[in-house]
Structures are given as structure tokens and as C-alpha cells.
């Protein structure tokens, strides 16, 4: 959990909870217990630090929805409102792979042509954005050919960071490489749409 807290370094309070088991090995009840430990801990810490951020309600369920592949025009989650029909045709995109849209510190939207992955977009917020921007700055070779943009969101989220990368995959004819279009203008427009849609859910201004 990330809570607005001017009294803390970075203007935010981050609370995480980990287990020694893989999440897929935990029952729904066990996952809920872990989530409640995190929220209860965050509530106590925020009260102690006199944080101003809203904490919301104690969770009654935890969404464990798996990745879903859908036609690009039927996106309902993290890819919703990202690719218009015209841009999809230009980029030769037919499908998206997504999860339900929420306010996670890291979320993704994948664009594909059938089973052939083309592009992956990722949104980073708060500490996730800080870490990713640090790594990209330290190892610039890893972001060669990657499209990025930022939004100043303020509060604990700080600077949100968005990336679009071409996915290297094997085509039906056995060729390995990045198979999507290399139209920079179209890719920048799609990334801007993704940043706008994702950022709005996180309370960020339009890019």
C-alpha cells in the first residue's frame, strides 16, 4: 500500500507484506489474510506518522484474475481506451492481453497479432517508477528502441513512468525478432493514450 504522507521521505508511506510461499500456492483466504495484514499495518503506521492520505476500507476480497486475451476492440481492463481501430490497423494489432484495471503500482497492457506478441506497455508509479527510472538511467542500453514518457502526479506517487517496448517473438515462419510496425508516431500516440488512461485511474493529470 502507498499512502500520501508529507511527514515521510518521498511524501509517501509504503507498506508491503510478503510470505514464504508463492502466491499461486495460497488459498483465497490466505491471500486475503496477507492483504489485511498489509492494510492494518498501513493504518497503524499512517496514524502514528499523522499521514493525510485516505486508507480506504479493510479488504473483503482480493482480485486474483489471471491475464485475459481479448480482441483489441473489446478491452475492458488495463488496455481499455488505449488503441483505436485506426491505430490497431496501422500497427497490425488484433488482440490485447490485460488484467482488470485498478491502482496497482505496476500494471501492463500487451498488444499482439493473434498469438504473436508485438508490443508491451508498462506503467510504473511511486517506488516502482523510481526504481525503473534509476535502472534505465544506469543501464541505458537496455532501453534502446524503447518509447517512454512521464507524468508528474504529485503526492506519494510522484513521477509516473510509462514504457512501450517491441517484443521479440518467433513468428509462424520461424523468424525471430520484433514483428510489429516501426511507425514511431503511431507508437508514441498509443503510449500517450495508455499513459492517459492509466494515469487517470491513479489520479494523475493528462500527459
Q: Are residues 74 and 173 in the same domain?
A: yes
Q: Are residues 36 and 116 in the same domain?
A: no
Q: Are residues 17 and 92 in the same domain?
A: no
Is residue 58, in this structure, part of any structural domain at all? Answer: no
Q: Are residues 82 and 43 in the same domain?
A: no
Is residue 43, in this structure, part of any structural domain at all? Answer: yes
Q: Are residues 176 and 83 in the same domain?
A: yes
**How many domains in the chain?**
2
Is residue 45, in this structure, part of any structural domain at all? Answer: yes
Q: Are residues 34 and 98 in the same domain?
A: no
Going residue by residue through the chain (207 aa), what tens digit of pLDDT does each one get? 788 888 777 778 888 888 888 878 888 888 888 888 888 888 888 888 888 877 777 888 888 888 999 999 999 999 999 999 999 998 899 999 999 998 899 999 999 998 888 999 999 999 999 999 999 999 998 888 899 999 999 999 999 999 999 986 544 434 444 455 668 899 999 999 999 999 999 999 998
Q: What is the pTM of this model?
A: 0.83
Residue 47, Ramachandran bin (φ over 0: left; ψ between -120 and 50: alpha; else beta): alpha
Range of the domain at 14: 2-49
Amino acid at each position: 500500500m502507498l499512502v500520501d504522507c508529507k511527514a515521510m521521505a518521498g511524501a509517501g508511506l509504503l507498506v508491503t507484506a510478503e510470505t514464504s510461499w508463492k502466491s499461486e500456492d495460497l488459498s483465497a483466504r490466505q491471500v486475503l489474510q496477507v492483504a489485511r495484514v498489509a492494510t492494518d499495518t498501513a493504518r497503524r503506521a499512517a496514524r502514528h506518522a499523522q499521514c493525510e492520505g485516505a486508507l480506504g476500507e479493510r479488504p473483503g476480497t482480493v482480485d486474483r484474475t489471471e491475464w485475459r486475451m481479448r480482441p483489441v476492440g473489446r478491452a475492458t481492463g488495463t488496455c481499455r481506451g488505449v488503441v483505436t481501430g485506426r491505430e490497431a490497423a496501422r500497427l497490425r494489432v488484433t488482440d490485447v492481453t490485460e488484467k482488470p484495471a485498478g491502482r496497482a503500482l505496476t500494471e501492463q497492457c500487451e498488444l499482439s497479432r493473434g498469438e504473436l506478441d508485438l508490443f508491451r506497455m508498462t506503467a510504473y508509479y511511486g517506488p516502482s517508477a523510481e526504481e525503473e527510472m534509476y535502472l534505465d538511467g544506469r543501464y541505458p542500453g537496455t532501453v534502446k528502441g524503447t518509447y517512454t514518457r512521464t507524468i508528474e502526479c504529485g503526492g506519494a506517487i510522484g513521477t509516473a513512468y510509462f514504457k512501450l517496448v517491441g517484443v521479440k517473438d518467433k513468428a509462424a515462419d520461424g523468424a525471430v525478432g520484433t514483428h510489429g510496425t516501426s511507425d514511431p508516431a503511431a507508437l508514441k500516440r498509443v503510449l500517450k493514450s495508455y499513459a492517459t488512461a492509466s494515469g487517470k485511474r491513479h489520479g494523475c493529470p493528462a500527459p
